[in-house]
Chains A and B, each alone.
Chain A
Amino acid sequence: MSLPAFAELLERLVFTPGRNAKLSLLGRWFADQPDPERGIGLAAMTDELVFAVAKPGVIRELGAARIDPELWRLSYDYVGDLAETLALVWQPRAGLRSRSATGAERESQAMEEATNAPPPTLAEVVEALETTPRAGIPALIAGWLDTLDAGGRLALIKLVTGGLRVGVSGRLARVALAEWSGRPVEEIEEVWHGVAPPYAPLFRWLEGAAPRPDPRDTPVFRPLMLAHPLEAADLAALHAPDWRAEWKWDGIRVQITAGPGGRRLWSRGGEDISGAFPEILAAMEFHGVLDGELLVVRDGEVAPFADLQQRLNRKGVTARMQRDFPAAVRLYDLLFEGAEDLRGLPFDARRARLEAWHARAAPARMELSALVPFDSLDALSRIRDGARAASIEGLMLKRADAPYVAGRVKGLWWKWKRDPLTVDAVLMYAQRGHGKRSSFYSDYTFGVWRDDGELVPIGKAYSGYTDEELAWLDRWIRNNTVNRFGPVREVERGIVFEVAFDAAQLSTRHKSGVALRFPRIARIRRDKPVEEADRLEAVMALLEKRSG
């Protein structure tokens, strides 16, 4: 009964907005399912295992073989999704319903049908897909569809067409494994990329029945060390000589792993993003593990985040993308040199090793992220205020004697972002949130005035307000709606937000021509008439030069 159980899990995951609920559902799956079912399911959800054996044409042909073309057309028109249409209209061939049966009889027949032939297990599906020649795949799928109910059919079709899309990232899956097993997530992270579906040794270890799997030479992700935001009180307590400062670049944190077992570029959450950055992979002519910031760099100048965004969330990359948006890494730290684990060393010692290694290895596309020298915290504060380049988010403060530890340990690393920019903008549209906020209009699109007197949207914010402000805004929005577009309400122009953001960047995607980095609601300006909200020119004036 594993495929039906998997189908039920997928259905719950698709409809569940809450992270905690997703973790519970995944934990239940790990606890209830035997090997190798649980591992295959895990791999399928996290896209570690993808079977794209059936193209949409196969799905259409299967539909055409079983249903009248006019009814298929009307059904597909209504549902709008090919896989789901087939799953819903499919009629099991065995046990055709008799035409004169009463409703109750039909119902019991339907239940019997479901138990006639046993549905396949995930392991059976995997094995058959791997061993069946391409020409035999449609008949194989049809045979399975006959054994499944509508939910099971949808899961199977999504599985064979390679489009599960259930919103389970690798990171979420590892947190779920940690919560279910009681092991720290960092320990799981370190072996994750060294184990392969269906992960039997991993599950045995997590259940306490075997030692931790040894990844040997396989490149694995080491959990990153993270920082806390620096508040004024924290700052006052710092003793300047104990600290080192470096720029906080506005790119994405990455880990570089290279050695005899292979090369990998990992995102902050441990996703393998190697495929999107072949030029970085090509530059990894060394053996070691490094921590750094991935950026687009042109002629030594760091480009705004929007440029890097062009390269993210892609499986592959074109030569043109590599030329127009050249990637590079600014190195922060050295975790392994060769096979030697440096993470237990103090920051200063690791920094010295990093500098020496970098001078020797001289890797392409990788520069050191320079330390920022300072005499006093006051002086450092002035340096921070003076940094207005779009590519710099602020400063990082790292304790000189701190080892490299996984996660966010308080008091070792601080991020000290520069003060945000602000703009006064008018609330234009509101949408309800998810999970706990599903009954609140909590997502706000705001705009500023253009010369011709039109209000143009410049961004969307979901945070920054208190619970009381949210309740007040929700009431106000419901009482001042002028238009509805599905889940979105257009509101009377009556609220001015002071919106804080980290940087303004040119954008071709927005009508206003500008996009904001990390916008959030700083204040509700109940005192300010909407006519006095900012003009687009004022926002444009905050645009930083395209290169830092």
Chain B
Amino acid sequence: MRPVTSPHPETWLKVTPSGLFCEPGGFYIDPTRAVERAVVSHGHSDHARPGHAHVLATRETLAIMTQRMGEGRAGATQQALALGEVLDVNGVRLWLRPAGHVLGSAQVCLEWRGSRAVVSGDYKRRRDPTAAGFEPEPCDVFVTEATFALPVFRHPPAEAEIARLLRSVALFPERTHVVGCYSLGKCQRLVALLREARWDRPIHLHGAHVALCRVYESLGVKLGDLRAATVAKKDELRGAIVLAPPSAVADRWARRLAEPVVAVASGWMRVRQRAKQGGVELPLVISDHADWDELLATADDVQAPEVWVTHGREDALIHALAQRGIRGRALHLVGRGEEDEDAAPEAAA
């Protein structure tokens, strides 16, 4: 698609110790350390770092960053960019397209002298009531994650997993079901999916999940009756669903719960041994990342002759892309995979 006279994206979009740098535009995308100008794809802490002088992101991502980092730490100056709105930065055209990962998550689309690169951040292709759905943008280079880039990772429909959770609640009505989930994105998606499945009773939250749920609600995502698990009495939590960080579900915090059934919602739960290590009784395969089929389908959808892989299991993905005639390149970005499911489950548990 790129005219022959256009520069290859590798001449203007470079891997640096601070992350991907758009040279002509003078800004970084998801920089891993504090920089002058940052474009941030979404609010997870391995993409959104504190201390930048200037941050550009969606309104939702800016609100999430401010909540998590504190006023003033999420960019000395903030600039909100609406999805689809095009900006010119020193001759680089820049716009955002939804990535479907969490609320506010966006792909960063860049065009320089007729050559186009899309940095997708983290993304998924499944429907998520709390995040705008992924939109493929045709490009010359597509920068992708590879968290679940093995054919063993094919996520079942999230609705079916929620149905399993509710069947378990019906089978063990005297026990508390505590679901380990990340505080940004997964937690709110689970709440929304439970509401869609007609679970109208209060959902109890670990303290670490409360603030971000408030941010979601202030941004127009309705989550229903949410309560603090910390103040509830043990007996009140019988038959209840409690959401907590994965690190808390099988540890001391969970002692306040009534004979808890420990569930964890993550794409990693697909593999039995992984689930067993964490002492999980009910593994729920619900992920905010693209699975194997979706990674490959997305590479097709964006029609890019070249795909750069930021982090994850790049071997399998690059091998499979080559079979489709797509050139793959591993970027080995440092500092990725430290929050949400990017993190290997051992580190998360």
Q: Are B315 and A439 in contact (CB under 8 A)?
A: no
Residues of B within 8 A of A70 (CB): 316, 319
Q: Which of A24, A434, A438 contacts B172 (CB 8 A)?
A: A24
B252 touches A12 (CB 8 A): no
The docked-state distance in angstroms from the alpha carbon of A150 to that of B293 is 15
Q: How many residues of A contact B (CB 8 A)?
A: 46
Asked if A49 is an interface residue, CB under 8 A from chain B, the answer is no
Q: Is the CB of B320 within 8 A of A68?
A: yes
Smallest CB gap from B123: residue in A: A103
* Residues of chain A within 8 A of B281, CB atoms compared: 15-17, 21
A110 contacts chain B at the CB level, 8 A cutoff: yes
Contacts of A100 in B (CB 8 A): 297, 300-301
Interface residues on B, range: 35 or more
Convert A135-174 into 0s and 1s, putting 1 for each residue whose CB lies closer than 8 angstroms to a CB of B. 0000000000000011000100000000000000000000
A439-B250 contact in complex given A78-B152, A103-B126, C-beta closer than 8 Å:
yes
Taking CB atoms and an 8 Å cut-off, the chain B residues in 119-156 that contact chain A are 124-127, 133-134, 150-154, 156
* Interface residue B272 (Cβ < 8 Å from any Cβ of A): yes
**A75: which of B150, B157, B164, B275 is its contact (CB, 8 Å)?**
B150
List residues of chain B with CB within 8 A of the CB of A17. Answer: 279, 281
- Asked if A389 lies at the interface with its beta carbon under 8 angstroms from chain B, I say no
Minimum CB–CB distance for B347 against chain A, Å: 13
B residues within 8 A CB of A28? 171
- Most-contacted residue by chain B among A16, A71, A101, A149 (CB, 10 A): A71
Please state if A107 and B126 are interface contacts (CB–CB under 8 Å): yes
Are B255 and A439 in touch, CB under 8 angstroms?
yes
Any chain A CB within 8 A of the CB of B282?
Answer: yes
When C-beta atoms are compared, the residue in chain B nearest to A72 turns out to be B151
Complex Cα distance A246/B223, Å?
68
Q: Is B111 an interface residue (CB 8 A)?
A: no
Who on chain B is nearest to A78 by CB?
B150
Say yes or no: A107 contacts B127, CB within 8 Å.
yes
B282 contacts A15, CB within 8 Å? yes
Evaluate contact between A439 and B273: CB separation under 8 angstroms: no
Pick 11 A–B contacts, CB within 8 A, sort by A.
Answer: A8-B164, A15-B275, A84-B272, A97-B297, A103-B126, A103-B127, A104-B127, A111-B160, A432-B250, A438-B250, A438-B279
Task: Determine how close the nearest CB of chain A comes to the CB of B198; give it in whole angstroms.
Answer: 19
* B contact residues around A81 at 8 Å (CB): 272-273
What residues on A are CB-neighbors of B261 within 8 Å?
Answer: 21
* A408 adjacent to chain B (CB < 8 Å): no
* Residues B171 and A25 in contact, CB atoms below 8 Å apart: yes
Contacts of A386 in B (CB 8 A): none
- Do A21 and B172 have beta carbons less than 8 Å apart? yes
Most buried by B among A14, A74, A106: A74
Contacts of B11 in A (CB 8 A): none
Q: Is the CB of B275 within 8 A of A439?
A: no
A79 touches B133 (CB 8 A): no
Q: Which of B151, B254, B262 contacts A89 (CB 8 A)?
A: B151
Q: Does A88 make an interface contact (CB < 8 A)? A: yes
Asked if A436 and B271 sit within 8 Å, CB to CB, the answer is no
| B323 CB-CB contact with A under 8 Å | yes
Contact flags A7-29 to B (C-beta < 8 A → 1, else 0): 01000101111100100110010
- Is A106's CB under 8 angstroms from B271's CB? no
A68 to chain B, nearest CB (A): 7
Contacts A88-B154, A107-B126 given: A150-B277 contact, CB under 8 Å? Answer: no
Q: For residue A71, which residues in chain B have a CB less than 8 angstroms away from its CB?
A: 150-151, 316, 319-320
Bound CA span A268–B134, Å: 60
Residues on A with beta carbons closer than 8 Å to the beta carbon of B293: 97, 106
Nearest CB of A to B270, in Å: 7
Interface residues of A (CB under 8 A from B): 8, 12, 14-18, 21, 24-25, 28, 67-68, 70-71, 74-75, 78-81, 84-85, 88-89, 97, 99-104, 106-107, 110-111, 149-150, 154, 432, 434, 436, 438-439, 486-487
Q: Which residues of B sit under 8 angstroms from A18, Cβ to Cβ?
A: 259
Q: How far is the CB of B76 from chain A (nearest CB, A)?
A: 37
With beta carbons under 8 angstroms apart, the residue of B252, B273, B300 that contacts A80 is B273
Chain B interface residues toward A at CB < 8 A: 100, 124-127, 133-134, 150-154, 156-157, 160, 164, 168, 171-172, 250-252, 254-255, 259, 261-262, 270-273, 275-277, 279-283, 293-294, 297, 300-301, 313, 315-316, 319-320, 323
Do the beta carbons of A74 and B157 come within 8 Å of each other? no
Say which residue of B156, B271, B282 sits within 8 Å of A12 (CB atoms). Answer: B282
Q: List B contacts of A150 (CB < 8 A).
A: 154, 156, 270
B142 to chain A, nearest CB (A): 15
13 further A-B pairs in the complex, CB-CB below 8 A; given A68-B320, A487-B277:
A15-B275, A15-B282, A75-B316, A88-B153, A89-B151, A99-B297, A99-B300, A100-B301, A104-B125, A111-B157, A150-B156, A436-B259, A439-B255
Q: Which residue of chain A has the shortest Cβ distance to B175 in the bound complex?
A: A21
> Do residues A439 and B251 form an inter-chain contact, with CB atoms below 8 A?
yes
Complex CA gap A263/B96 in Å reads 77
B152 near A110: Cβ-Cβ < 8 Å: no
Kindly state the separation between the CA atoms of A8 and B282 in the bound complex, as whole angstroms. Answer: 11
- By a CB distance below 8 angstroms, the chain A residues around B294 are 103, 106
User: Which are the 3 A-B pairs with shortest beta-carbon distances?
Assistant: A103-B125, A88-B152, A89-B151
The residue from B133, B153, B279 contacting A103, defined by CB atoms under 8 A apart? B133
Q: How far is the CA of A107 from the CA of B124 in the complex (A)?
A: 12
Cα of A110 to Cα of B156 in the assembled complex, Å: 8
CA distance A79 to B261 in the complex (A): 25
User: How long is the Cα–Cα vector from A28 to B167 in the complex, in angstroms?
Assistant: 11
B277 CB contacts on chain A under 8 angstroms: 486-487
Cα A104 to Cα B134 with chains together (Å): 10
Contact (A74, B150) CB under 8 Å given A104-B127, A438-B250: yes
Residues A107 and B255 in contact, CB atoms below 8 Å apart: no
Residues of chain B lying within 8 A (CB to CB) of residue A89 = 151-152
A78-B312 Cα distance, complex, nearest whole Å: 13
A71 to B271, CA, bound (A): 16
Residue of A nearest to B301 (CB): A100
- Residues from chain A with a CB closer than 8 A to the CB of B126 are 103-104, 107
CB neighbours (8 Å) of A84 from chain B are: 271-272
The one of B151, B252, B297 in contact with A88, judged by C-beta atoms closer than 8 angstroms, is B151
B272: chain A residues at CB < 8 Å are 14, 81, 84, 154
**Residues of A with C-beta under 8 A to B157:** 107, 110-111
The answer for the CA separation of A461 and B270 in the assembled complex, in Å, is 33
- Give the CA-CA distance A443 to B283 in the complex, in Å: 25
Please report the C-alpha to C-alpha distance between residue A85 and residue B273 in the assembled complex, in whole angstroms: 12
